[in-house]
Structure 1
Amino acid sequence: MAPALPRRILLKATLLAMAAPTMTYAATGRAAAATLPAPSAWTLRPFELKDVKLGQGIFATKRQLMLDHGRGYDVNRLLQVFRANAGLSTGGAVAPGGWEGLDGEANGNLRGHYTGHFLTMLSQAYASTGDQVYVDKIRTMLGALTDARAALRQDPRILSVTGKFGTAQDNVRGSYQYVDLPAAVLGGASAVTLSAWVKPTHNANWQRVFDFGNNTTRYMYLAARNGSGVPRFAITTNGPGREQGLNGTAALPLNQWSHLAVTISGSTGTLYVNGTAVAQNTSMSLTPSALGTLANNWLGRSNFSSDPVFAGAFDEFNVWSRALTADEITSLQGNRAADSSADRGDLASYAFDETTGGTFADASGRELTATLRRTWGGPSHPGFLAAYPETQFIDLESRTSPDYTKVWAPYYTAHKILKGLLDAYLATDDDRALDLASGMCDWMYSRLSKLPDATLQRMWGIFSSGEFGGIVETIVDLYSITGAADHLALAKLFDLDKLIDACAANTDTLNGLHANQHIPIFTGYVRLYDATGETRYLTAAKNFWGMVIPHRMFGIGGTSTAEFWKARDVIAGTISDTSAESCCAYNLLKLSRMLFFHDQDPKYMDYYERGLYNQVLGSKQDKADAEKPLVTYFIGLTPGHVRDYTPKQGTTCCEGTGMESATKYQDSVYFRKADNSALYVNLYSPSTLTWSEKGVTVTQTTDYPREQGSTITIGGGSASFELKLRVPSWATSGFRVTVNGSAVSGTPAAGSYFTVSRTWSSGDTVRVTIPFRLRVEKALDDPSLQTLFYGPVNLVGRSTSTSHLQVGLYRNAALSGDLLPSLTPVSGKPLHYTLNGTEFAPFHEGTEDPTHAYVRRSEPGIAFGNTDSGVTNPARSDGTTLLDEIWAGAPFHNKGALVSRVASTVDSWVSEGLLTEADGEKVVSTAGKATYVP
């Protein structure tokens, strides 16, 4: 029997035989906008951001801060790393700090990711507001990225800047460019002078002005800065330990022209800086003739691969076959070499204003033409676009262990850029964005399709280095527009089979995995289900969601500790200063939303409300800033933690996703059925929906969550549809709906959608009442550690204490089970309360107050309605107390129902030997005498 073909090869053959997808491109909305086709597998459809306008409220206030940031930020700063990488002028722009620059963490190996986030943010800002300033910034970025890609496809070309005497060659930091000189440049001379004008722009040590050598054993170099920051010349035939050297006495100034010269004659070597001899060695035994013919003769590059490339400009470089005199060196200070007493170098002479392109003519008469090159080779392959060379991608293909100082998630960075380009295309219909995005996917397919399955599985399984974010989702989205079979085949090349198969079998293998490396890949797998019909993708995604929520979820909706997952159902045991990475919440919202399009299980939108109204809102500081988006990385949940809104200088993954979140708050307020027969109201948020297919508007007027309900008004015309109103799972009683003042029959069930079906007319008004109550949610592994919720709002204590606050709540509990009567409202501050002198406030407020997201529940005595029984509150071995079990029966219709519950519970505990009969009688008696809030 012939061996079976690998699944990937079979899939590729199938895809290549497929016609273009049934989903077609359609123009819509503003004249300059495109629409992403909705998959036929979705039973619900989202609305575009432009169709939903936010009204005044907490979302609009937070969003305005981000809109202002995006409006004012100079995008040339973001483009700096792309232009530098391509050897283009950066126009003096300074790249952001942190991860988005050459000096960031891990050598800036994630640079470019933030530019993608920013493109997405601008695109969403434009879709939401129609403000032209965002389009202008997008078009500037697309133009620059198009130019950068084109430059990367060419051999490097001289970048001319003002020189010492004319124009000079600029090596932009991050361009990895150097000048390659012919092997005969030193001419076997026994005496020599080397002279150069340089203008360094960075203070990294060991940048070479020149380095002539074969390897790290035999070489001769001049460094602009040695380990002490001063110029150094050295020559050796036996490695660093046997160098014969000359060291300067002061650092070269940055951004100023300096003249360096070295002379060797006999046993004497002299180093000159700006015409002055600063070092001399009279016992040298090596001259260039001792080195022989050398393979690597470079300006700006070191034979030591770990040394940085010279950043700055070169003007004249000359080599003479003799030692110039001090007077001749002096003459070079104010004159071109050709006009000095030294004349041009007779071994080599390059004046960088005398040539263009990527080659430099030699004026010595020896015709030793020099060539501008990149350390990583090149040109790049077609379609490649990044802010660093292809080397990270190439390295990953053979890498077996993580090292983010060498390879830091190149496909993750590619995803952010690709997503930003696709969003820019959808927002502006600018063909450059689609061309760049398609080119990136073509380039990725050309690399990855040539690799064996085993190599791909190894790559994607490497922590951090193999992280690829939500790239699969974006590739499938692009495929829905291009119809290119290679694009869908590319998406399949990111299958992490071990994880997919485990999740499809509902086998939890998440312990120890990097959380945000894996959450976003499941949105991609859902989209692969949409495109291919392979059910294992959708099954795996649903099961994966259930492994995280609630089993690894903190109360605010976040997950992970120090970016990783721990064992299932361990919550209290994972609380730390590095809990709940903000990216994780962002991606869990995306996954929940996408799963809801397939399966209208209210649990997905319950989670969406939790994560959005708490962690996502609370991750954005309530403060304006022109330079930083002010978004948290981790949400520390330890007692007294103060949120850090500018981690790692403000350009991390979480600040990127935070910019996106803050410009799409309205994306899930409303969904519609695919046949337009129903409108889902998922979130109670002040907003106006324009539902063009029905010819109506739907306006919510509310101050939710400061208001316990919402008013929905139909406008524009008449239409028949079902209005599906989400009944939150925490809304266990009192949810009511009226239409034009008349109550709607039916019993809304918590954790469901309540349907109102009718033919709607303009002016129809729906009032939704959603009574809040204060409740607690217990850590799965420690019931005494609890977090407080008032309706959808997580309330956190504000206290500098670094120990868990001790909180008792049952004494004044209402018959409804509402614990709020134990707290005192703060006048003039909605949703603020005090308890035992501590203020409790909404988590969504982006302040720098020390907070307590979890408190220690302490109910030492049994009391009802502020009447104390004098009996100690006993507990079971799992931590459940008598009062816990009594109040678990809430709501109670009246006092009698509560007393009955007390009596039955007491009887059970007495019979189990957990409470004495006498104490039990006291408890029941106290419950009967007390008065209660309804």
Structure 2
Amino acid sequence: MTPHLSRRFLLQSAILAAAAPAFAHAAVGRAAAAALPAPSAWTLRPFELKDVSLGQGVFANKRQLMLDHGRGYDVNRLLQVFRANAGLSTGGAVAPGGWEGLDGEANGNLRGHYTGHFLTMLSQAYASTGEQTYADRISTMVGALTDVRAALRTDPRMLTVTGRWGGAHENVRGSYQYVDLPAPVLGGAAAITLSTWVKPTHDANWQRVFDFGNDTTRYMYLVTRNAGGVPRFAITTNGPGGEQGLNGTAALPLNQWSHLAVTITGTTGTLYVNGTAVAQNTSMTLNPSALGTLTNNWLGRSNYSGDPVYAGAFDEFNVYSRALSAADITSLQSNEAKKSSAGLGNLASYYFSATSGGTFADASGRGLTATLRRTWGAPSHAGFLAAYPETQFIDLESRTSPDYTKVWAPYYTAHKILKGLLDAYLATDDARALDLASGMCDWMYSRLSKLPEATLQRMWGIFSSGEFGGIVETIVDLYSITGKADHLALAKLFDLDKLIDACAANTDTLDGLHANQHIPIFTGLVRLYDATGETRYLTAAKNFWGMVIPHRMFGIGGTSTAEFWKARGVVAGTISDTSAESCCAYNLLKLSRMLFFHEQDPKYMDYYERALYNQVLGSKQDKADAEKPLVTYFIGLTPGHVRDYTPKQGTTCCEGTGMESATKYQDSVYFKSADGGSLYVNLYSASTLTWAEKGVTVTQTTEYPKEQGTTLTFGGGSAAFALRLRVPVWATAGFRVTVNGQAVSGTPVAGSYFAVSRTWQSGDIVRISVPFRLRVEKALDDPSLQALFHGPVNLVARSSSTSHLSVGLYRNAALSGDLLPSLTPVSGKPLHYTLNGTEFAPFSEGTEDPTHAYVRRAEPTVVFGTVSSGVANPAKADGTTLLDEIWAGAPFANKAALVTRVRSTSAAWVSAGLLTQAAADTVVSTAQQASYVS
């Protein structure tokens, strides 16, 4: 019987058979090309960041803030969590906190992701500026991560630090390390002393100095801090309810050596801290002999799995089969044990300074060698690199429900690290970075390729825990360098078929989904289409884009509320303080850019301009800070919302993508056609393009969007190609192009590209005029709730009111339909206006002013040219008012054309019973009397 072969198996087999020869020349460690090879499926090609330099303006100013941050931040803080996880010295560095540290949200289960973002930011900064500082920082990080991977592949080794008497061993917090002692260590003694020097480095409660036990029923422990924050010793054969204990009186100081000792003899137990007896229990009935032979004899680890591993150093641990005297304990304060009156422990004695490996010799003469271990078991598998153990990845494979306190998107974090390494390689040619990236993919393939397809589908469908970001895109990018068939096969293992099939069939199933978990899936699908030619991927990505834009899009270009999507067409109904997660806009820009490479539909770049000039720019605060990137997580769109540029200590996913955005503003200003016959000018932004293949430069001089147009000046040699200039979809009138002062014939169409073909010479000047007008965009589910736009710029009201402002805009509308004359310009502040005493300013300004991105449209009476008719402005059932319908006919050639529109519209409303004839006559008369701006 022929076995059933899944679609995944068949596709992978085809990939494995066909893919390898395509990149047979590629090898890990070779010198990197200047950029990733462009897929043959792309009809357009991007320029490298080094080919486009930014001129003075809003983009350069915002970027400079991020460049300064990248230059000044201590990268050892980012590396701390990686080094700690590997048991390496952290050099005293303190992790950033927030999501990037052990104390972060969900137990720090996303730590490591931010390091990847930072590597990408540094790589883009270096590619753009050539400044060696960024390359040096990249090299430091790549070198450290190389050391980390090597350490994770071996058994843990002693980390030597300065001790009380010489060398000592430190358990770095986050290393999950403990010392495993042989079973006979307590020797069944009825009388006993346990003595040690400790230097705790963290103040978490219930960190065990030692714990000898079988489980949570029979054990004996000493902690640096109990629930009250003081040392505690306890022994029990009946669980926590049967503990016989000794509690200290004061907390142990952090980062200082303290001596702890416990003695038991007869019914008396005593706890000493730094030579002083701080607690005594004379009613004890338990001692080590009552415990029997124990299986878990640990220094630094608890038999309770939820307790933290001890963070700090050990110097000398001695176990005696007698209760030392107070004088002996005192002697241990000023002498090494071997020089004290107590001498070395006769049951066990460890110096912690006699090895550089992972074992500690016993000086008691009993030969009880101790072994350093990790709580998560054996060394990691080849290629594994993370700031936490493999346990998150293992847990995900059997997980059926989300719990980010246990597993928080391990493959998402892997993506950020992988992307940062790949970008580092492309920017600096550092073969170590490529080796690390390739090794990560080898490791992922070795895990995921062994899982049943049903398991993979379940994993990727779990909210949060199964999120994997843009990992597919990055894996395919890596494959284009390495040519490893396993890498392309790995990319296919992330297929979430339910989502892909629905979008390929143009069936909208997005309601209720986590937005940023799913947007980057589609950038990966586009790249899979590039690599495999499977049209299902590209079709799904195109259809998905159309499900979000405009149906789930806010005016600024963002999407999502509290990270999730609501029903299609619901915009006003999703406005909240947690609207427009910044990562969503970042990933939608990437998707729009990729789709435009395949199909030059101007809608993709119209969206790109909208989101870039509004949400992306507005998400970066206009302020310098060495410690924080100052980028928003959510952009609340509720009335009077004040943007938070330092959420969760500044280490969220959105701060990460915000760093990346600010160092690649120029990546989509220009594209070239695959055949070199066209240059696309997508964005009007001060910049200079060096098109090496053509031997020309194109310098764009503009203050856009403060300036309503731009100037292109050609330099270098001569070259023939078509210059394709984007005509924004909102530029409905007046778009004009001149070359060397002469008007170019043709009729530019809004929402298209206007082509100018010629042989360009050095000194040629192209002037582009892009007249702005003030317009409104209505929320799909509430037309009265509107966003104001002047050209590409979203104008937001600055007001502390927490209710939507009522705004009327027709009172002095121009014959062109431009609503701007109803506003008053603010002198000396371009793109700032006032209306009824309220200032309106560009959303892109990164201030902490309370803002209103949406206003409530209110036109209570019919007004023309500031002259009121006194007639109430009637409305239809759908909210459309008489004035809405009149001005929908704009632009008007002259006043007479407007009056004609007023007359015909009023007559229609009279016929519909929505307006009396007398009121209609008054409306027409007012329109005739008023004067208008053009």
TM-score range normalised by the length of the shorter chain? over 0.9
How far 1:356 sits from its partner (Å)?
A: 2.3
Q: Distance in 2 between matches of 1:667 and 1:130?
A: 16
How far 1:11 sits from its partner (Å)?
A: 2.1
Alignment of 1:163-174 (within 5 A): 163-174=163-174
Equivalent position of 1:226 in the other structure? 226
Say yes or no: does 1:836 pair with 2:846. Answer: no
SS in 1 for 2:161: strand
Q: Contact between 2:23 and 2:482, CA under 8 Å: does it hold in 1? A: no
Q: Distance in 2 between matches of 1:924 and 1:542?
A: 47
Q: Which amino acid aligns with 1:52?
A: V
Say yes or no: does 1:825 pair with 2:825. Answer: yes
Q: Distance in 2 between matches of 1:745 and 1:506?
A: 40
How far 1:629 sits from its partner (Å)?
A: 0.3
Q: Distance in 1 between matches of 2:866 and 2:163?
A: 84
Percent identity over the alignment is 85
Q: Distance in 2 between matches of 1:487 and 1:584?
A: 27
Q: Contact between 1:33 and 1:427, CA under 8 Å: does it hold in 2? A: no
Alignment of 1:676-715 (within 5 A): 676-715=676-715
How far 1:902 sits from its partner (Å)?
A: 1.1
Q: Which amino acid aligns with 2:425?
A: Y
Q: Distance in 2 between matches of 1:685 and 1:814?
A: 28
Equivalent position of 1:36 in the other structure? 36
Alignment of 1:414-429 (within 5 A): 414-429=414-429
How far 1:154 sits from its partner (Å)?
A: 0.3
Say yes or no: does 1:908 pair with 2:925. Answer: no
CA deviations on 1:72-128 (whole Å, 9 max, x unpaired) are 111111111101000001111111021111111111110000000000000000000
Equivalent position of 2:50 in the other structure? 50
Q: Which amino acid aligns with 2:295?
A: A
Q: Contact between 1:34 and 1:425, CA under 8 Å: does it hold in 2? A: no
Q: Which amino acid aligns with 1:591?
A: L
Alignment of 1:277-288 (within 5 A): 277-288=277-288
Q: Contact between 2:26 and 2:481, CA under 8 Å: does it hold in 1? A: no
Q: 1:663 to 1:770 in 2, by over 3 A?
A: same
Q: Distance in 2 between matches of 1:322 and 1:4?
A: 70
Q: Which amino acid aligns with 2:799?
A: S
Alignment of 1:725-764 (within 5 A): 725-764=725-764
Q: Distance in 2 between matches of 1:646 and 1:868?
A: 47
Say yes or no: does 1:382 pair with 2:379. Answer: no
Q: Distance in 2 between matches of 1:47 and 1:26?
A: 22
Equivalent position of 1:535 in the other structure? 535
CA deviations on 1:741-766 (whole Å, 9 max, x unpaired) are 00000110000000001111111110
Say yes or no: does 1:410 pair with 2:406. Answer: no
Equivalent position of 1:125 in the other structure? 125
How far 1:22 sits from its partner (Å)?
A: 3.9
Equivalent position of 1:12 in the other structure? 12
Q: Distance in 2 between matches of 1:88 and 1:4?
A: 49
How far 1:926 sits from its partner (Å)?
A: 1.1
SS in 1 for 2:156: coil
CA deviations on 1:363-390 (whole Å, 9 max, x unpaired) are 0010000000000012000000000000
Equivalent position of 2:600 in the other structure? 600
How far 1:216 sits from its partner (Å)?
A: 0.6
How far 1:2 sits from its partner (Å)?
A: 2.3
Say yes or no: does 1:581 pair with 2:581. Answer: yes
Q: Distance in 2 between matches of 1:770 and 1:482?
A: 45
Equivalent position of 1:525 in the other structure? 525
Alignment of 1:256-335 (within 5 A): 256-335=256-335
Equivalent position of 1:60 in the other structure? 60
Alignment of 1:730-809 (within 5 A): 730-809=730-809
CA deviations on 1:258-293 (whole Å, 9 max, x unpaired) are 000000111111000000000011111111011100
How far 1:19 sits from its partner (Å)?
A: 4.5
Q: Distance in 2 between matches of 1:12 and 1:555?
A: 42
Alignment of 1:514-663 (within 5 A): 514-663=514-663
Could you tell me the TM-score, scaled by structure 1's length? Answer: 0.99
Q: Distance in 2 between matches of 1:376 and 1:468?
A: 23
Q: Distance in 2 between matches of 1:682 and 1:26?
A: 33
Q: Contact between 1:633 and 1:652, CA under 8 Å: does it hold in 2? A: yes
Q: Contact between 1:23 and 1:38, CA under 8 Å: does it hold in 2? A: no
Equivalent position of 2:816 in the other structure? 816
Alignment of 1:909-924 (within 5 A): 909-924=909-924
How far 1:24 sits from its partner (Å)?
A: 8.5
Alignment of 1:343-422 (within 5 A): 343-422=343-422
CA deviations on 1:553-586 (whole Å, 9 max, x unpaired) are 0000000000000001101100000000000000
Say yes or no: does 1:94 pair with 2:76. Answer: no
Equivalent position of 1:491 in the other structure? 491
SS in 1 for 2:20: coil
Q: Contact between 2:772 and 2:791, CA under 8 Å: does it hold in 1? A: yes
Q: Distance in 2 between matches of 1:762 and 1:73?
A: 42
Q: Which amino acid aligns with 1:395?
A: D
Q: Which amino acid aligns with 1:467?
A: E
Q: Contact between 2:814 and 2:933, CA under 8 Å: does it hold in 1? A: yes
Q: Distance in 2 between matches of 1:34 and 1:779?
A: 44
Equivalent position of 2:72 in the other structure? 72
Q: Which amino acid aligns with 2:605?
A: M
SS in 1 for 2:711: strand
Q: Distance in 2 between matches of 1:607 and 1:305?
A: 50
How far 1:917 sits from its partner (Å)?
A: 1.2
Q: Distance in 2 between matches of 1:33 and 1:499?
A: 35
Q: Distance in 1 between matches of 2:929 and 2:827?
A: 32
How far 1:16 sits from its partner (Å)?
A: 2.2
Q: 1:694 to 1:34 in 2, by over 3 A?
A: closer
SS in 2 for 1:856: strand
Q: Distance in 2 between matches of 1:812 and 1:754?
A: 32
Q: 1:766 to 1:152 in 2, by over 3 A?
A: same
How far 1:904 sits from its partner (Å)?
A: 1.4
How far 1:355 sits from its partner (Å)?
A: 2.3
Equivalent position of 1:848 in the other structure? 848
Alignment of 1:656-671 (within 5 A): 656-671=656-671
Q: Contact between 1:25 and 1:35, CA under 8 Å: does it hold in 2? A: no
Q: 1:24 to 1:575 in 2, by over 3 A?
A: farther
How far 1:20 sits from its partner (Å)?
A: 3.1
Equivalent position of 1:188 in the other structure? 188
Equivalent position of 1:148 in the other structure? 148
Q: Distance in 2 between matches of 1:864 and 1:415?
A: 57
SS in 1 for 2:170: strand
Q: CA RMSD in A?
A: 1.2
SS in 1 for 2:345: coil
Q: Contact between 1:25 and 1:36, CA under 8 Å: does it hold in 2? A: no
Equivalent position of 1:108 in the other structure? 108
Q: Contact between 1:41 and 1:598, CA under 8 Å: does it hold in 2? A: yes
How far 1:71 sits from its partner (Å)?
A: 0.6
How far 1:645 sits from its partner (Å)?
A: 0.2
Could you tell me the TM-score, scaled by structure 2's length? Answer: 0.99
Instruction: Give the paired residue count.
Output: 932
Q: Distance in 1 between matches of 2:356 and 2:796?
A: 64
Q: Which amino acid aligns with 1:895?
A: K
Q: Contact between 2:200 and 2:312, CA under 8 Å: does it hold in 1? A: yes
SS in 2 for 1:35: coil
CA deviations on 1:812-865 (whole Å, 9 max, x unpaired) are 000000000000000000000000000000000000000000000000000101
Q: Distance in 2 between matches of 1:440 and 1:116?
A: 13
How far 1:789 sits from its partner (Å)?
A: 0.2
Q: Which amino acid aligns with 2:16?
A: L
How far 1:15 sits from its partner (Å)?
A: 2.2
Equivalent position of 1:243 in the other structure? 243
CA deviations on 1:585-617 (whole Å, 9 max, x unpaired) are 000000000000001000000000000000000
SS in 1 for 2:333: coil
Q: Distance in 2 between matches of 1:109 and 1:212?
A: 29
How far 1:12 sits from its partner (Å)?
A: 2.4
Q: Contact between 1:724 and 1:755, CA under 8 Å: does it hold in 2? A: yes
